Structure 1
């Protein structure tokens, strides 16, 4: 059986490796710059590496030459990666190996359900058993026991019906290959529904609970079974799901620290679960506040966020000033060069211990 992404031994892993991973659905905007700057500053303040990964796993959403434009914008802003960028579109074999490994361990399965099938199955459940997540219904596990004569359309990750192993304290923990390096505060347990992992009750209907420590948000916990369900690893259109791709990529790039926007916090439990199941290290996570538009919504390409203007050092400096302000960093002198300003903000970030203020920025205010 081929291995998906063997963990790099701790003796050769970097002390700190961070990354910025934009999707080439358009050029950088003020919101993505905040995430890029935060990850760059965290790496520099720790004396670590900063890498860039182009997450072009969903070609229909990608714009031609957007990856080239993003890399050019980063260079103009002084945010230069320490190694060559990685493109997800060139890594399909790695994701296929990971899926093969999960299938071999009985942790993934093929699914033949259409959206209509899922809606019908949910409609047949009692109302209290129907869960919705971000307006999307949680998969009810129809194909968990087999395809029932349907062709396979997608592949899903198991979050229920898992093997429990008693611990000396009487709790239950998932029996999976232990990661070679654990992130701070990560615990993956089976526990009763709506019962957090620290409970000493014996699970009657075990749910997969993931707890972890976010460097800004503190302790986080999620009942993955109830709140997410068996999630997709490979889509019906043949494309790889973000969750699987990012876990394999982070391991292959030896990423130790992930700094990204708070809208991705909800993805973390699934990624921690996949890391555990594949025997991969858990990075540490820090989710920074989002940049909001004038309506109080996340500034994004989908909502028409304007592209960053990086045609001159002066406009680059203005964009960086706004991003630094959004992260709660002290201002740099107006006469300072971009490099000097980045040094000032690196020291400011170090003084904050990588804990940006919980503020959000509205452009133009």
Structure 2
């Protein structure tokens, strides 16, 4: 880490209930930072306030506390940082890398659209060639989103779990949105700006976000921010391979009604290869034995104890 203090984080989005997979991610992020003598922070990614009520954020913080997971710094709420994100967009705009996009969702997903692994589509760059005059005229009747131009360049990085990764931004990502047409700043922009501002040196999160990392590294370069180390942990799934879902009632809070936090921690730590058995334990008991090398490279099956 080149002498930098280790700073890890867990950054949940309060748009639904936390499930066992979210809890495992928080556990691993906490253990990774603490095992290196580092600092651990919690950030609430509620930039979309319509989907993320403050009450839901409070529930998440309370739930994490029940598992012994606390922030070493005051908790940051993205909903209060719009001006900070606006400044980042202004910097990108001054570099002539941002342009307005007036395309509707239907237009983006029209026949022939190239679909991406994250569920999006490769943008056709239809609005990139709009003249200033044409864009100004369109803006009179509809608010545009803002897109960031990407180069025809391969971004490479080493993930602490899945190894060497590479993605050609132009061909596998495309120009992406950094501010939606409703004025909400995108996850990609906000997470990069906040990690940089908080001095985050390592990011532990689910493997479903592995695909997002190259564009975030690109943003870090443009904004003059150091890239943290990345650890994308495998997802927790049911025995049939089905993923856990915030919207399907797979709630960690529900589990706490029938068992202790120590039982859940023990079961998850064993399933993830962190502990040698599934006996109940406090999270801090796992710090001395934690190593990211113990984590599997394939999906983790939800422990039977937690299948309620």
Same fold (TM over 0.5): yes
Out of 120, 125, 134, which is 1:141 matched to?
125
2:210 to 250, 255, 265: 265
Pairing 1:361–2:301 present: yes
More helix by share: 2
Shift of 1:361: 2.3
Does the 8 A contact of 1:16 with 1:257 survive in 2?
Answer: yes
Q: Is the 8 A contact 2:266 2:281 kept in 1?
A: no
How far residue 237 of structure 1 moved from its aligned partner, in angstroms, is: 1.4
**Could you say what the CA RMSD is over the residues aligned between the two structures, in angstroms?**
2.4
Aligned partner of 2:287 in structure 1 is: 346
Which has the greater radius of gyration? 1
Deviations 1:265-316 (A, max 9, x none): 0110110000011111100100011111344122120343123347589610
1:344 Cα shift?
3.8
**Which one of the candidate residues 115, 128, 136 is aligned to 1:132?**
115
Provide TM-score, normalisation by structure 2: 0.88
| 1:150 and 2:115 correspond | no
What TM-score do you get using the length of structure 1 for normalisation?
Answer: 0.75
CA 1:104/1:314 → structure 2, altered by over 3 Å: closer, same or farther? same
Distance 1:358 1:320 in 2: 20
Structure 1 regions of 5+ residues with no counterpart? 1-9, 161-206
Question: Which residues in structure 2 correspond to 1:213-252 (within 5 Å)?
Answer: 213-252=158-197
Q: Which runs of 5+ in 2 are unaligned?
A: none
* Residues 206-231 of structure 1: per-residue CA shift (max 9 Å, x gap): x1211100011110001111111100
Native 8 Å contact 2:17 2:247 kept in 1: no
Structure 1 match to 2:67: 77
Structure 2 CA distance, aligned partners of 1:310 and 1:37? Answer: 16
The 3 A distance-change label for structure 1 pair 60 and 18 is same
Quick check: 2:23–2:252 contact (8 Å CA) kept in 1?
Answer: no
TM-aligned CA deviation for residue 31 of structure 1: 0.8
- Aligned position for 1:5: none
Aligned to 1:173: none
